[in-house]
Amino acid sequence: MTAVNQIGWFQIGTDQPAAAERFYGELFGWTFADDETAGAAYRIITTPGEGGLQGGLASTGGPSHAVFSVVVADTEATCRQAEAAGGKVLVKRTTADGLTLAHVLDPSGNQFQIFTPPAG
């Protein structure tokens, strides 16, 4: 697992997943595989090289996005710290697949995600 306060995941959302796979695969050599729990609507991205970062490609059917996710020790505490530093919590803390996550805006309005992995 990636260390705390480092990027541990990224996600690209698109209404044209096949075109996105072709683009990123040809441009960067990224590979794609079905997510065993979500099926074809969500694909796992693997970047090349030792220690390559993994991410996801979501078939959104709507607005496109690209967001990075930072591993944090405590999602709720980090949300409070972000607000104290001038940011805004866009999507409050939730738990999905054992991860505790939230979406945050920096003071310039850039969105990113934070998450705490499941214990253990």
* Contact assessment for residue 9 and residue 52, using Cβ atoms and an 8 Å cutoff: no
Confidence check: pLDDT of 12 > 70: yes
State pTM to two decimals. 0.81
**38-77 pLDDT tens trace:** 767 899 999 998 888 899 999 988 788 899 999 999 999 9
Confidence check: pLDDT of 36 > 90: no
Chain mean pLDDT for the chain? 91
Residue 106: per-residue pLDDT: 94
Confidence check: pLDDT of 103 > 70: yes
Centre a 10 Å sphere on the Cβ of residue 24 and count the other Cβ atoms it contains.
Answer: 18
* Contact assessment for residue 25 and residue 31, using Cβ atoms and an 8 Å cutoff: yes
Residue 41: per-residue pLDDT: 81
